[in-house]
Structure 1
Amino acid sequence: MKWKELDLDFPLGVLVVDCKGTILFANKFAQIRLMKVENPSMLTIQHLLPTSNIIRVIKNGRHEVNQLELDDSYYLLEFPLEKGDRGVIILVPENVFQNIIEKSPAYTSLLQETESIMNLSGELVTITDHNGIVLRVNNTCEKIMGIKEYDFVGRSVLDLQKSGVVNLSSTAKVLETNQKVTLQQVTKSGRRLLVNGYPIFHNDGELSKVINISKDITEIGDLKAKLEETNRTLTYYQEELLKLQHKGNDLIFKSKSMEEVYGLASRIANVDATVLIQGETGVGKEVLARTIHNLSSRRDKPFVKVNCGAIPETLIESELFGYAKGTFTGGNSNGKVGLVQAANHGTLFFDEIGELPFNLQAKLLQVLQEKQFTPLGTTKNINVDVRFITATNRKLEEMVKEGTFREDLYYRLFVIPITIPPLAERKQDIPFLLNHFIERYNQKYKQAKSFDKDVIEFFMELDWKGNVRELQNTVERLVVTVPENRIQIHHLPENLAGEKPMRFSTRNLNLKSAMDEYEKSLIIEALKSSSTLKEASEKLGIDPSTIGRKIKKHSIEIAKLQHIL
């Protein structure tokens, strides 16, 4: 057949091209569909079909098949001619092309194999063209995506994303970047997918298709959520257990100020930095030190207390650092292990550190800095691994200025300072402390005592100069000495009765009036010991707006109260 005989009646476009891209011939079908000109020699194939690979086909001698989209969809079948300097391009409509190849046994076999591979993994496989139109999906589409296969094929991925079938399109990301992408996707049915999108390119480097392989990770996500919930539950019970632990150490509190103290203690428990606990006598410095130890990783190791004010100055060095055999006449013949060495791998608590003699402060500084010391009567250094906690009711800064406490030791101790407020500033803790102490001493002395409500209210009015220790001793005395099981006001010892606040009397008041008077007195006490309304409200455990309303209700004149701004 001659080229000129391929006229309009021939249902395929035919173009003949030389190795330079010059169009030597185009039948009328090709002219109408592509060039729309009478003289094809005026054009080159590069201008007419920029995506054609015919020049490469001529040089390589191998045919290629490419898809071309015009007004309709066409396939380009490109073949080299025998002479080696020309090639032919056949423009085939898509429906004709499909009809031809689908009748091919090889094509049918390939199609079946492809289908089997797509459905083999159990994962969702999606194939789209270079415009993001879904060409094929495998048979897991309905199960994973929640929609029928025929509702999926032919739709744009952007349309699927916009309509909420998926929250994020992996194909759109591949088309945007021309690279493989991995992302998490949520379907309209609520399933979570891990999607890998792969770009497929033509030989000329142009994007041809996108293949997406989606793994359903919903159950993995559910397991992760359950694990997180389990971890939250575990954390809750751990916190509750820690509360039980600190309650076992008598660190009982309800007030916000003590909650902050305990929170700080919990955070630094596993940090081996030195802690300096400050506060008045009897506030519970030793209790807090033991709590820090029990919350730390050293909890199973020794907790050794050194009361610097209780050991005679002549003995304190040997008690702390020990001595070698034969050091003292009348001493232990085998020598003695000091308290510092006894606390190895544990916690050493120096109570009343301000009472430590000046000449021993340098030796303690050596232990803090170098973790080693020298016992009396020897020159051999002993290494120790000790966590140091110190406590004092004295103002160490003033002692440094007076020259009675080493400045370098002060700064070595003052790494993490914790101040415990006096009981008078946290009266919300009193009822809980009373309950704790009476349970302890009831068990110790085999009693069944309880406090009358008036006694609890009375105790909350007192200033407790001796703080928690005074309160504890008072409860023990009452449990032992009061003959009745119900402890009432008239059972209180004279030293407490003499301090009874006489702000109001309940004899001539009904219950409502008595409660109003009591509420007013509590607010006044909180205001007197606070510098702001917010601080007073925190002490009372109420909102600032609430305390403002109650001040107005009880006609309390704030200006006359001390410290209030």
Structure 2
Amino acid sequence: MIEKNIYEQSLSFGILLVNYKGRILYTNDYFEKMLNLSAKQIKEKMIQHIIPKSNIIKVIKEGNADITTYGNSQYANLIEFPIKLSKLGIIIKFPNDFLQSFIVKSPAMSNLKKEIESIMNLTGELVTITESDGLILRVSSNCERIMGLKEHEFVGKSAFQLEKKGVINFSSTRKVIDTKQPIRLEQVTQSGRKLLVDGHPIFNEDGTLSKVVNISKDVTEVDDLKNKLEEVKNTLRYYQQELNKVQKKAKDIVVKSKAMEKVYDLVNRVADFDATIFIQGETGVGKEVLARTIHQLSSRKNAPFIKVNCGAIPESLMESEFFGYSKGTFTGGSKEGKKGLVVAANKGMLFLDEIGELPLNLQAKLLQVLQEKEFTPLGNTTPVKVDVRFITATNRDLEEMVREGTFREDLYYRLFVIPITIPPLAERKQDIPFLVEHFVDFYNEKYKTAKSIDKDVVQLFMDHEWKGNVRELQNTIERLILTVPNEQIQIKHLPEKMIRNTEAPTTLNLKDAMNHFEKKIILQTLKESKTMKEVSEKLGVDLSTISRKIKKYEIDFAKMQ
């Protein structure tokens, strides 16, 4: 071992002298203290026993200096270089603070620092770099604009503390440290700005976390624009629904009575949602018209609307008509198979009229479509996926059928999500004059005629009992338009049965008969009079009595003038 002199012992950095075999020939006091070993423990030892990761033998052999960095502070940053022509090598260890100061002040490090700062400030986004314990090392210059804090209020602070103080609602650094994985999250600053943050972990060679880099994009304006755009979309959607509502009323639908206004208000609220609708009402009230209106007001209006009358299809053919079949399933069937009505309505609506006529075995299959949005065609083993909205209708009492066991209870509740009941014409007589006008205009245009209907006929229609509801009224007007030769349709042109039934009710109830004739007398007198006072004088009763009777019989005196 080479002897030390007073100068070598006082050196402020460590020196190890090693030969080409790796044997330690010399060490000074600094290195001994650093290794926490005595000179005797080091003397003539192999370098691999003292510093296992040293590359000094390779350095001596190849003649190229090297810097070896180890994971712990004791052996960090060893400078190893060969001594030419001697087959020896020297390992030097500087104090950590000395080497760090030297590196920071070096031109290369200075240039690197400038480049990093330029990159951080170039993007316009907020960039922060933190230690693995959350201590903030660097932050880009736009910190104050985005976060509302100056750089010095950030650098040197803990990200955890900033989170605790409410500078941010949630620390992305904390998430990266916890998960050791890249993350993306939304962050809200204390000033209310919204940030989209990407956090990235930086690892050491041994896999431990070294740094966390966060890149935050200010999306406040984007978020505000999205909200405003959504508001505009909602407004447009509302006005479109209202426009559709007006257009439908003006074109196809006559809604004047309060009962029908309630029905169509509900229709406009639910039309654009995909919930199943169950329409109830007597025969002829307009269930199909209502179903088509729902389709036209919905987002599926450009997709198919398929109507199926469940009572018009033979039971033996029902399953193949509804769900189709694969080729070769039936003798005499289509060679290519059949896709069925459910598939035909894909992306659109399937209106099942008279749903109470559906047999039990098909009820189970329909329930599968409603629950799972798929079914298996006849002769096939592969389920078919469909996207269909169902509207069903019936004039039968399904609840009674459930109690009798002829209709599945689980299917009933699947269909009965949004029930809509269309009142019979007897409960909305205010609609009759407007329905008459609508149908007269429709058939005049269809048959190129110019017929009109006398107001006495309209009044008689209001008094008539329309057992077939709107359909019966519509058919009656079409028949009159086609068969009456005169331009104006009068009472004398009506069928005798209709006139006879209207003149006197077929009832033995004396009160009903008296009310009927009282109303008829008042109506006739109203037609012949110009004022209510004149009516009261002709009938010999008080004016208040006439007013009460007019209200009782729902007579519109103003329209009769």
Please state how far the C-alpha of 1:259 moved relative to its aligned partner.
7.3
User: 2:117 & 2:80 partners in 1: Cα distance?
Assistant: 30
Alignment partners' CA distance in 2, 1:293 and 1:108: 70
Percent identical pairs in the alignment equals 37
Query: Is the contact between residue 438 and residue 479 of structure 1 (CA under 8 Å) also seen in structure 2?
Result: no
CA distance in 1, matches of 2:467, 2:178: 75
Amino acid at match of 1:490: K
Structure 1 residue 76 corresponds to structure 2 residue 39: no
| Range 484-493 or range 39-48, more displaced | 39-48
Other-structure match for 1:63 = 66
Between 225-234 and 7-16, the greater mean CA deviation after superposition = 7-16
SS at match of 1:194: strand
SS in 1 for 2:91: strand
Alignment partners' CA distance in 1, 2:119 and 2:298:
58
CA distance in 2: counterparts of 1:187 and 1:47, whole angstroms: 54
Are 2:21 and 2:57, in contact at CA under 8 Å, matched by a contact in 1? Answer: no
Structure 1 Cα separation of the partners of residues 300 and 208 of structure 2: 66
Q: Contact 1:123–1:216 at 8 Å: present in 2 too?
A: yes
Corresponding residue for residue 225 of structure 1: 227
SS at match of 2:77: strand
The verdict on how the C-alpha distance between 1:262 and 1:183 changes in structure 2, with shifts beyond 3 A counting, is closer
- The amino acid that maps onto 2:297 is L
- The one-letter amino acid paired with 2:77 is L
Deviations 1:412-437 (A, max 9, x none): 9999578654759xx9xx8xx68877
Tell me, in whole angstroms, the C-alpha distance in 2 between the residues paired with 1:64 and 1:365: 82
2:353 to 376, 382, 390: 390
Gap change, CA 1:361 and 1:134, over 3 Å in 2 = closer
Q: Is the 8 A contact 1:201 1:207 kept in 2?
A: yes
CA distance in 2, matches of 1:388, 1:202: 66
Contact 1:482–1:491 under 8 Å retained in 2: no
Comparing 207-216 with 479-488, greater Cα deviation is found at 479-488
Q: Give the conservation status (yes or no) of the 8 Å contact 1:6–1:14.
A: no
C-alpha separation between the residues in 2 aligned to 1:222 and 1:203?
44
Q: Distance in 2 between matches of 1:485 and 1:346?
A: 52
Partners of 1:12 and 1:29 within 8 A in 2: yes
Which amino acid counterpart does residue 66 of structure 2 have in structure 1? H
The C-alpha deviation readout for 1:17-46, integer Å capped at 9, x for no partner, is: 7899998765444555x4566557279999
Q: Is the 8 A contact 2:163 2:169 kept in 1?
A: yes
Instruction: Please state if 1:491 is matched with 2:494.
Output: no
Counterpart of 1:124 in structure 2 is: 126
For residues 470-500 of structure 1, the C-alpha deviation after alignment (integer angstroms, 9 at most, x for no partner) is 9x999xx999996579995423687x89xxx
- Aligned letter for 1:55? S
Structure 1 residues 15 and 190: CA distance shift in structure 2, 3 A: farther
* Equivalent residues in 2 for 1:515-554, closer than 5 Å: none
Aligned position for 2:11: 10
CA distance, structure 2, for counterparts of residue 124 and residue 171 of structure 1: 14
Question: Does the 8 Å CA contact 1:14/1:91 hold for their aligned counterparts?
Answer: no
Which residue of 89, 94, 116 corresponds with 1:91? Answer: 94
> 2:211 — aligned with what?
209
- Give the alignment's Cα RMSD to 1 decimal: 6.1
Q: Is the 8 A contact 1:124 1:144 kept in 2?
A: yes
Residue 200 of structure 1 contacts residue 209 of structure 1 at CA under 8 Å; is this kept in 2?
Answer: yes
1:64: how far off?
2.4
The amino acid of 2:91's aligned partner reads: V
Q: Distance in 2 between matches of 1:98 and 1:435?
A: 94
Tell me the amino acid that sits aligned with residue 193 of structure 1.
Answer: L
Deviation at 1:291, TM superposition (A): 2.5
Q: C-alpha separation between the residues in 2 aligned to 1:152 and 1:126?
A: 9
> Contact 2:125–2:142 (CA<8 Å) still a contact in 1?
yes
Query: How far does residue 198 in structure 1 lie from its aligned partner after superposition?
Result: 3.2
Q: CA deviation at 1:440?
A: 7.5
The residue number in structure 2 matching 1:530 is none
Pair 206,465 (structure 1): closer, same or farther in 2 beyond 3 Å:
same
* CA displacement, residues 259-311 of structure 1 (integer Å, 9 cap, x when unaligned): 77887766559x9xxx884433565534433433433578689xxxxxxxxxx
Following superposition, the deviation at residue 76 of structure 1 comes to 3.1
The letter for the 2-side match of 1:117 is: I
Q: Secondary structure of 1:155's partner?
A: coil
Deviation at 1:102, TM superposition (A): 4.9
Query: Contact 1:283–1:420 at 8 Å: present in 2 too?
Result: no
1:29-44 matched pairs, under 5 angstroms: 29-30=30-31, 34=34, 38-39=38-39, 41=41
> How do residues 398-547 of structure 1 correspond to structure 2 at under 5 angstroms?
416=415, 420-421=420-421, 423=423, 483=527, 488-491=547-550
Are the structure 2 counterparts of residues 111 and 189 from structure 1 closer, same or farther at C-alpha, using a change threshold of 3 Å? same
Residue 166 (structure 1) aligned to one of 149, 165, 168? 168
- Which of 151, 154, 170 matches 1:152? 154
C-alpha separation in 2, matches of 1:465 and 1:255: 20
Offset of 1:146 from its aligned partner? 1.7
* TM-score, normalised with respect to structure 2: 0.51
Tell me which amino acid in the other structure corresponds to 1:105. Answer: P
Gaps of 5+ in 1: 302-344, 372-378, 447-463, 498-565
2:93 is paired with a residue whose SS is: strand
Equivalent-residue separation in structure 1 for 2:101 and 2:334 (angstroms): 99
> 2:362 maps to which residue?
none
Structure 1 pair 133/122, CA: closer, same or farther in 2 (3 Å)?
same
- Could you say which residue in structure 1 is the equivalent of 2:115? 113
How do 1:161-200 residues align onto structure 2 when only pairs under 5 Å count? 161-200=163-202
Distance in 1 separating the partners of 2:178 and 2:525:
87
Deviation of 1:469 after TM superposition, in Å, equals 6.3
Deviation of 1:90 after TM superposition, in Å, equals 1.3
Q: Report if the CA contact (8 A) 1:390-1:413 is conserved.
A: no
Q: Deviations over 1:428-485 (max 9, x none)?
A: xx8xx68877888899999xxxxxxxxxxxxxxxxx9979869x999xx999996579
CA contact (8 A) 1:198 1:211 kept: yes
The CA distance in 1 between the partners of 2:157 and 2:166, in whole Å, is 13
Q: TM-score, normalised by structure 1?
A: 0.51
The within-5 A match list for 1:238-387 is 238-241=240-243, 243-244=245-246, 249-250=253-254, 267=273, 277-281=279-283, 284-295=286-297, 347-348=306-307, 368=322
CA contact (8 A) 2:134 2:159 kept: yes
Match of 1:139 among 135, 138, 141: 141
CA contact 1:423–1:467 (8 Å) conserved in 2 = no
Aligned counterparts of 2:231 and 2:296: Cα–Cα separation in 1 = 27
Q: How many residues align?
A: 400
Contact map agreement 1:30 1:91 (CA 8 A) in 2? no
Amino acid aligned to 1:145: M
Q: Report deviation, 1:125.
A: 2.4
Q: Specify whether residues 120 and 242 from structure 1 end up closer, same or farther in structure 2 by C-alpha distance, changes over 3 A only.
A: same
